[in-house]
Amino acid sequence: MPLRVYNTLSRKKEAFVPLHGKRVSMFVCGITPQDQTHLGHAKTYVAFDVVARYLRSKGYHVFYLQNVTDIEDRIIAKMKSTRRAWDDIVAQYFAEFRDVMERLQCTSVDVYAFATDYIDEIVEQIQGLIRKGHAYVAEDKSVYFDTTTFSGWGKLSGQKVEELRPGARIEIEERKRHPADFVLWRAQKPGEPAWESPWGPGRPGWHIEDTAITIRHFGVQYDLHGGGTELAFPHHEAEIAQAESFTGVTPFVRYWMHGGMVMVSGAEMHKSLGNFWPVQAALERYEPEVLRFFLINVQYRGPIDFAPELLEEAKRSYERLRETVRSVEAERRRAPPKGKADPGLRDATKNSLAAFDAAMSDDFNTREAIAVLFEFARDVNKAIESGVGRGPLDGAAEAFRTFGDVLGLFQMKPSETDRLDGVLDLIVGLREDARKRKDFATADRIRDALAAVGIVLEDARDGVRWKLK
């Protein structure tokens, strides 16, 4: 199926056509490492991880770039409150972020680009913008972008400058000529980290790093830019203004994608609201795959109103799928090469692969794709009950691997399982002997004892299965 992507720029789903054949340049706004990674971050990065994975599965060569804002107001605030070095804070929280990402199987990023590694490009862009009359140096030697010189201001978010309420939430800096103007270079204040520039020591503004980084890696125009929906205005608007003013090339980005927020009982998750859920805390109670499943169990553009009960539900749902994946793997090992006639598993597999692709190609509709998995699971379970042979089972297993690779799910841990295999075969065998003797007391004792250490036995029609709880 041809891929269609909802483009914030046009507010429509559009056919996805990269600039250069099968090469896709993809950029997603990354974090400011100054506090714990929370579920909101996780939702965004899991969503775009799936985007990259799906594109790759379709044969695109994706270069996925993510920035890291390693110098910014909040880092400086943290620096002051903790009396730690800014780069020390960044190192700590970025390491934690990477750890969380890895556990959530967000493995598709090619390069994490740190803002402070691009000071040269940033300075060059700011100089260019000043030269072209799009930026001005303020009294304190900070540099601001002059939004009145950019006619496209507001085209991404549909905002009209005159309709906005200046200072609705954040105080306007008095040095600006226009409330919409934004800082490109912030002059150093005493005690703050700074880099040299033609305007004196200072640090980059928040928006400029992204255009400096992407122009360096991708050139003046690229395919896909993602981020949380709250970034569309003003952040992404500012990126467009900078890049298009600097290069004269329009559009800077062809497809803008924005993901929905994680809410907590109706309010945006935010540290200041006290409803902040660090991913670490969620991972103490739930497996990473369960959390990942939970996060992609909605269309990425929609919000998730988070509640612990919903994670509980996700766990039960996901377990159903994983259970089927497990039994396929177990069955194909013991099924005879020629089992009974295929009750239609090959067809079901083929149809599910097609339906999955159709769902994903419709703006990465993971919820729809997961619905396909559940239907497929039912077909597979039925086929297993009817004693299907190894061939169709191999096909089904292969399909689950395809689904799992795209969604980042069903990553089994064979080593751990293999180690227990032999031991459990023995124990299960002894219990089977007891059951044959109708010595259910012993059989139940074995099962209960294993359950107590987290190993669950299930007596299926064709043998005993065990799994780790």
**How many residues interact with RNA (rule CB under 7 A)?**
95
**What whole-number distance in Å separates Cα of residue 329 and Cα of residue 385?**
14
Say how far residue 199 (Cα) sits from the centre of its chain.
38
Near RNA by CB under 7 A, which window of 120-128, 154-162, 249-257, 405-413? Answer: 154-162
For the record, the structure tokens of 252 come out as 């800077």
Near RNA by CB under 7 A, which window of 113-121, 245-253, 322-330, 418-426? Answer: 322-330
Does 305 bind RNA (CB under 7 A)? Our answer is yes
Q: Which of residues 334-353 bind RNA (CB under 7 A)?
A: none
Does 179 bind RNA (CB under 7 A)? Our answer is yes
Q: Which of residues 267-286 bind RNA (CB under 7 A)?
A: 267-270
Which has the closest alpha carbon to 372: 398, 342, 390, 350?
A: 350
Beta strands in 36-142 (DSSP E): 61-68, 111-114, 135-137
* C-beta of residue 349 within 8 angstroms of C-beta of residue 392: yes
Q: How far is the CB of 162 from RNA (least distance, A)?
A: 8
Pattern 231-270, RNA, x by CB under 7 A? xxxx------------------------xxxxx--xxxxx
Q: How far is the CB of 82 from RNA (least distance, A)?
A: 18
Nearer to RNA by C-beta: 44 or 197?
Answer: 44
Nearer to RNA by C-beta: 130 or 360?
Answer: 360
Near RNA by CB under 7 A, which window of 40-48, 86-94, 97-105, 246-254? Answer: 40-48
Query: Across the beta sheet with 267-268, what order do the strands follow?
Result: 267-268, 262-264, 304-306
For every residue of 151-197, DSSP letters joined together read TTTTTTTT--GGGS-TTSSSPPPTT-SSTT-EEEEEE--TT---B--
Q: Which of residues 380-399 bind RNA (CB under 7 A)?
A: 381-382, 385
Does 158 bind RNA (CB under 7 A)? Our answer is yes
- Collapse the DSSP code of 66 into the 3-class scheme (helix H, G, I; strand E, B; otherwise coil) and give the result: strand
Does 170 bind RNA (CB under 7 A)? Our answer is yes
Q: Which of residues 55-114 bind RNA (CB under 7 A)?
A: 69, 72-74
Say how far residue 134 (Cα) sits from the centre of its chain.
35
Which has the closest alpha carbon to 2: 358, 369, 301, 356?
A: 358
Pattern 183-212, RNA, x by CB under 7 A? x--x------------------xx------
Does 141 bind RNA (CB under 7 A)? Our answer is no
**What whole-number distance in Å separates Cα of residue 173 and Cα of residue 294?**
41
Q: How far is the CB of 206 from RNA (least distance, A)?
A: 4
